[in-house]
């Protein structure tokens, strides 16, 4: 049965959280706050946190700076995955992917459909590997962040998840 094996040792990861928004500040970044709190309450290290405008260069520069850090295991973004002209997270991040995690948006949309119905089609949530760092791009709503973390990402980044977790792959990513 898939799930967390409590008999195994939890290995904390270094995780960065990046909010992408033209309007949010640190004082009112509820989605970033939600992600940061969940990362830490799961036992991981919030290794970095930032906010950038909806700008391809600003987003890709932030992601690239964190992804080349050999101690950074994962980056989670919130915001900019929609369909409007200012939503450019996908355009900024996907060209950086060395490998795409194709199943992530499929699972995210299945989960999201249960809470927002057909509105899930407005999200371009995605995930991939940049250098040896896992990157997950979530929509900017707190509901989407909670769903993405609670039901998908937290398990993927928990070394105790069986039959296997992404953590198990970390030593082999540079092969």
Per-residue pLDDT of the chain (175 residues; tens, 9 = 90+): 899 999 999 999 999 999 999 999 889 999 999 999 999 999 999 999 999 999 999 999 999 999 999 999 999 999 999 999 999 999 999 999 999 999 999 999 999 999 999 999 999 999 999 999 999 999 999 999 999 999 999 999 999 999 999 999 999 998 8
- Flag whether 141 is in a domain: yes
How far apart are the C-alpha atoms of 31 and 21, rounded to whole Å? 11
How far apart are the C-alpha atoms of 152 and 172, rounded to whole Å? 22
Q: Which of 111, 117, 114 is nearest to 154 (CA)?
A: 111
- Flag whether 175 is in a domain: no
Q: Which of 43, 57, 35 is nearest to 167 (CA)?
A: 43
Residues 67, 133: contact at Cβ < 8 Å? yes
Q: Which of 26, 37, 124, 118 is nearest to 79 (CA)?
A: 124
- Flag whether 73 is in a domain: yes
Domain that holds residue 65: 12-169
Domains in the chain: how many in total? Answer: 1
Q: Which of 11, 64, 112, 170 is nearest to 77 (CA)?
A: 64
How far apart are the C-alpha atoms of 64 and 67, rounded to whole Å? 5
Residue 154: its H or E element:
helix 154-156
Report the pLDDT value the prediction gives residue 3, as an integer from 0 to 100. 94
Asked whether the whole model's pTM tops 0.85, one would answer: yes
Backbone angles phi, psi at 130, to 5 degrees: -120, 120
CATH number of the domain enclosing 76: 3.40.980.10
- Flag whether 5 is in a domain: no
Cα distance from N-terminal residue to C-terminal residue, the chain? 29
């Amino acid at each position: 049965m898939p799930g967390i094996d409590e008999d195994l040792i939890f290995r904390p990861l270094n995780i960065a959280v990046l909010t992408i928004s033209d309007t949010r500040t640190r004082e009112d970044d509820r989605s970033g706050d939600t992600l940061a709190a969940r990362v830490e309450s799961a036992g991981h290290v919030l290794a970095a946190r930032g906010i950038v405008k909806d700008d391809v260069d600003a987003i890709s520069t932030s992601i690239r700076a964190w992804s080349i850090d050999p101690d950074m295991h994962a980056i989670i973004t919130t915001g900019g995955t929609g369909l409007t002209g200012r939503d450019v997270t996908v355009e900024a991040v996907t060209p950086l992917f060395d490998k795409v995690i194709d199943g992530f948006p499929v699972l995210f949309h299945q989960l999201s459909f249960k809470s927002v119905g057909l509105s899930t089609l407005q999200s371009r949530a995605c995930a991939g590997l940049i250098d040896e760092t896992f990157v997950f791009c979530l929509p900017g709503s707190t509901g989407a962040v909670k769903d993405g973390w609670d039901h998908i990402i937290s398990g993927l980044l928990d070394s105790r998840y069986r039959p296997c977790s992404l953590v198990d792959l970390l030593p082999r990513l540079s092969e």
